[in-house]
Each structure stands twice: as C-alpha cells, then as structure tokens.
Amino acid sequence: MSPSLFHSKFRIGDRLVGGGAPCLVIAEAGVSHFGDMGLARNLVDLAADAGADVFKTQLFDVEVLIAERASDWRERLRPRNLTLDQVFELKARCEARGLLFMATAHDDSRIPWLRELDVPAVKIGSGERNNPAFVARLAELGRPMIISTGMYGAEDVREALNACSGSGCGSVALLHCVTSYPTPPEDVNLAAMETLRKIFPGPVGYSDHTVDELAVLAAVARGADIVEKHITILRDVPNAQDWKVSAGPENLASIIERIRRIEAMIGRGTKQPAPSEAAGVAWALKSLVARHDLPAGHILAESDLAAKRPGDGLQPNRIGELLGGRLRRALAADEVVRLEDIEP
C-alpha cells in the first residue's frame, strides 16, 4: 500500500470531507426501524431535524449474510430487512429533507442495490475485517469509501486499504471504532485515531458505540473528520442492541449542536489575538507609569518606572525606549509615561 494513492480530502455528495472541512455527522439508523416503514420515516426526520449530514441504514439478505447454523441470528434479523423499493423511498425522503443517503451492504446480494441507489459513498462495517475480496468488490463501485475499523489491528487496516487501492479507490476515510455494545470508557481508545493518521493520509474519524455523547464530542475535539452515532426512537427493545448506544429525539439535536460549537472552538490554529480580546487589552495588560513623582528634566532610570494596569500606554517590553531619556514635563506617581514626554 502506497499512502500517496489516497486523497487527503474528497467530496461525498456536496460535502467536503477532510482538509479542515466541517465534521461529517452520520446518523446511523442501522436496523432500528425493525422493518416498520413508518418508524423508518421518523428516523429520517429525526436525523434531518437534528442537523445531521447523512442518514444511513443497513442492507442484507439473512440467508446470504448468516450461515444456517446461526439460525437464531437469522430469525432475529429477518424482520428487519427492507425491500429495495422501501430503501428508495427512504432515499427520496432524505433528499427532500436535505440529507445525504448512505447504506452499508453487508453481503454481495446488496452490492447491486448500492449501484441502483447511486449512493454518494460506500460505508463498510467493521464486520468485514479480513475480508479483502468483499471490500475490493465494494471499491469497484467507484464511490468514496468509509471503513469502520472495529476489531482491527494495524495490519488489518493496511489489508483493507490495499483492497481499496487495488480496485482503484483512492478516496477512503477510516473510522476508529470499538465493536462492543456498549463500549466501556476504558476501551474507547480515541488515541487510535492518531495511529490511523500515521498509516495513511486520508480523513480519519470515529464511529461510536458508547452510551452517551462524550466520546463523540471528544473525537471531534481531537480533529475527527467524520463521526457516526447510532440513532433510535424505540428503547428497551428485546433481542436488539443498537438502542443501548443510540441517540434519540431527546438528545440528537443537542449532540450535533455541541459538535458544531466544538468545531468553532477548535478554530484555525494560528496564535494571534482573537477579535473578542480587543476589550481585554485595556484592563488586562499593563502600561509603563511613573513609580513616584518625577520632576521635569529628570533622567529616567529603571527605578523610576513601574508596570501597572490599565494597558492604555506603552507596554512594559518597550521600557528600553524610555531609559536614559530626559523628561519634558513633570509626571505624577502612576501617570502614564509616553514617548512624547521624552526629549529627543
């Protein structure tokens, strides 16, 4: 894998990802619609009302995805399938609400669906670790790729990237992820985002499986280019796990609002006075003043001067311009000493 093959920034739909662009916020509905289209529509509206950039769901055929020996998982997921027509309906609703629509294809039967849906990017779940042939087939769709890396080691990441580059895909983003529902705080390991940045130059982000928003906000503060948070409307659902790590109508909007506030706080990184600090110059900085009464004609020495607030005169680092100068006029104690008070 050559890092030079990968782009540091690229577009997903009309959104720029990487290169200092605003964090792309993915509202991951997954299968939290439970096959109910009314609930699925409400999830789209939840994502749109909260200000997410992307609504994402998951596509699969249980017979293709799950072996017969795991029949309990087949039966658990079977009712959560959507038809292609239903998915098209969700995509149309997303477009009407200003959302990008994305989907994860969990098996080969759904790759043609992604092509028909004309998704702006392909999201690959963590379950495709060590499945480079499948990753390569998805990369052949010619769309940007977002890869979650739960359960991955560094070499697994390189294997997935090789699969992408081998299929001609250079627009790839990696999401640090922990596949545990919920993820305990000590396992979140946001510092792994830095490791991903060392492996390749593309956008890096975080896919969250914790019980609240703290890890997502911390990831944004650490410079995540993308964050993904599960969403739900229903809680306490038996034989389901996503709701345990999901935001809902009660908090999704506030999470995204905090993401945008954090981004504003991060700024551009230059070290210079902020516009809001202008008023602080007067009260917080110090000026050079007479330490005691000084007569006209006095030759200024360091012992004659003090640095005191407010900062409406010469700053203390300019004391050298005053020392040895002869006063044109008398100065009272604490009076500001200005350059014009010194004879040329």
Rounded mean pLDDT, 70-95: 94
- In the CATH scheme, what is the code of domain 275-338? 3.90.1210.10
Q: How far apart are CA 99 and CA 45, in angstroms?
A: 10
pLDDT tens-place string over residues 26-47: 999 999 999 999 999 999 999 9
Q: Quick one: pLDDT band at residue 4, thresholds 50, 70, 90? A: confident
pLDDT of residue 59: 97
Closest CA to 143 of 3, 5, 11, 4: 11
For residue 13, pLDDT over 90 is answered with yes
Rounded mean pLDDT, 101-113: 98
Q: How far apart are CA 204 and CA 225, in angstroms?
A: 6
Rounded mean pLDDT, 327-342: 97
Compute φ and ψ for 82, nearest 5 degrees: -120, 150
pLDDT of residue 282: 85
Instruction: Report, in angstroms and rounded to the nearest whole number, the Rg of the chain calculated over CA atoms.
Output: 29
Rounded mean pLDDT, 256-275: 94
Instruction: Report the share of the chain in percent with pLDDT over 90.
Output: 92
Rounded mean pLDDT, 192-210: 98
Q: How far apart are CA 167 and CA 141, in angstroms?
A: 9
Q: How far apart are CA 308 and CA 289, in angstroms?
A: 7
Any residues with CB less than 8 A from the CB of 128 and at least 6 apart, and which? 134, 135, 147, 160
Q: How far apart are CA 13 and CA 94, in angstroms?
A: 13
pLDDT of residue 239: 83
Considering only 1-5, 71-75, 246-250, which range has the smallest mean pLDDT?
Answer: 1-5
Q: Quick one: pLDDT band at residue 11, thresholds 50, 70, 90? A: very high
Q: Quick one: pLDDT band at residue 344, thresholds 50, 70, 90? A: confident
pLDDT tens-place string over residues 278-327: 989 889 999 999 999 999 999 999 999 999 999 999 999 999 999 999 99
Name the architecture of domain 9-266.
Alpha-Beta Barrel (3.20)
Q: Domain coordinates of the chain in residue numbers?
A: 9-266, 275-338
Task: Look at the pTM and tell me if it is higher than 0.85.
Answer: yes
For residue 143, pLDDT over 70 is answered with yes
Do the two domains 9-266 and 275-338 of this chain adopt the same fold? Answer: no
pLDDT tens-place string over residues 147-156: 999 999 999 9
Rounded mean pLDDT, 180-209: 98
Element spanning 305, H or E? strand 305-308
Q: How far apart are CA 17 and CA 184, in angstroms?
A: 29
Q: What is the CB neighbour count within 10 angstroms for residue 151?
A: 14
Instruction: Report the share of the chain in percent with pLDDT over 70.
Output: 99
Element spanning 316, H or E? none
Q: Quick one: pLDDT band at residue 1, thresholds 50, 70, 90? A: low
